[in-house]
């Protein structure tokens, strides 16, 4: 059984590495240079997939937290915690790549635009989630309070997504299904889709390793408890 899991894990890592190489080629060489922004627009192929993975991870936190509140099974709490950590990582990448893109295009690193502000709030919510898990010592209370925050905190995700549709913002309008003249050229769209797939594979690799780490940590805690009882 473990051999099968190790083989699947190795194949997933190999597939992710190949996809990353293809994505880099497409982002820097295959996709045409954007007429207005120039080469700096290529960060789009990393910025948008990072946002997608962050939203996806926080959605899974929402789902796993709900399931934990119903079933009270620690496995769901572990899944929610792992997804939250990965979501924060990719949300951080969004907040880093965004200003790098914004500076040459807008002339400023940051502006209190609706989408930018709500994304920062989203990041702070899940930073608070991780801090709650770190500082609360009682396992059951920690899991319960974290699950509640994981459910409530997800409310900000649709607010971030729809902010550029509901309010006038400096952030660019949607380029996919965003109205007239908002579509990407076919090579750009193909590059974006490949990058989205690659970042999703990377999420799965990180999630698998994070859960494995959690399993090893629990085994180490059990060994330590036995040694303390024996002593």
Per-residue pLDDT of the chain (231 residues; tens, 9 = 90+): 567 777 888 999 999 999 999 999 999 999 999 888 889 999 999 999 999 999 999 999 999 999 999 999 999 999 999 999 999 999 999 999 999 998 898 888 888 888 899 999 999 999 999 999 999 989 999 999 999 999 999 999 999 998 877 776 656 656 555 444 556 889 999 999 999 999 999 999 999 999 999 888 888 878 887 887 776
Q: Give the closest residue to 124 by CA, choosing from 151, 153, 81, 93.
A: 153
- For residue 143, give Cα distances in angstroms to 89, 130, 157: 21, 11, 21
- pTM score: 0.89
Is residue 10 within 8 Å of 206, Cβ to Cβ?
no
Q: Give the closest residue to 149 by CA, choosing from 225, 68, 50, 205.
A: 68
DSSP state of 170: S
- For residue 55, give Cα distances in angstroms to 9, 84, 202: 24, 10, 14
């Amino acid at each position: 059984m473990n051999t099968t899991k190790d083989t699947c894990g190795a194949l997933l890592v190999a597939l992710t590495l190949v996809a990353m190489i293809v994505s880099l080629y497409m982002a820097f060489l295959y996709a045409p240079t954007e007429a207005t922004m120039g080469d700096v627009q290529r960060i789009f192929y990393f910025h948008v997939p990072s946002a997608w993975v962050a939203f996806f991870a926080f959605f899974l936190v929402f789902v796993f937290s709900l399931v934990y509140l119903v079933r009270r099974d620690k496995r769901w709490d572990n899944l929610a915690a792992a997804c939250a950590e990965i979501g924060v990582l990719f949300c951080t990448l969004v907040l880093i790549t965004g200003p790098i893109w914004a500076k040459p295009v807008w002339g400023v690193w940051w502006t209190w635009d609706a989408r930018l502000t709500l994304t920062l709030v989203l990041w702070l919510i899940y930073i608070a989630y991780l801090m709650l898990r770190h500082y609360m010592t009682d396992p059951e209370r920690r899991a319960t309070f974290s699950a509640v925050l994981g459910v409530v905190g997800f409310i900000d995700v649709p607010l971030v997504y729809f902010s550029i549709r509901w309010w006038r913002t400096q952030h660019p309008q949607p380029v996919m299904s965003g109205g007239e003249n908002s579509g990407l050229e076919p090579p750009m769209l193909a590059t974006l889709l490949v990058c989205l797939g690659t970042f999703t594979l990377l999420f799965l690799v990180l999630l698998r390793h994070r859960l494995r780490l959690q399993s090893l940590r629990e085994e180490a805690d059990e060994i330590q408890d036995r040694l303390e009882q024996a002593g």
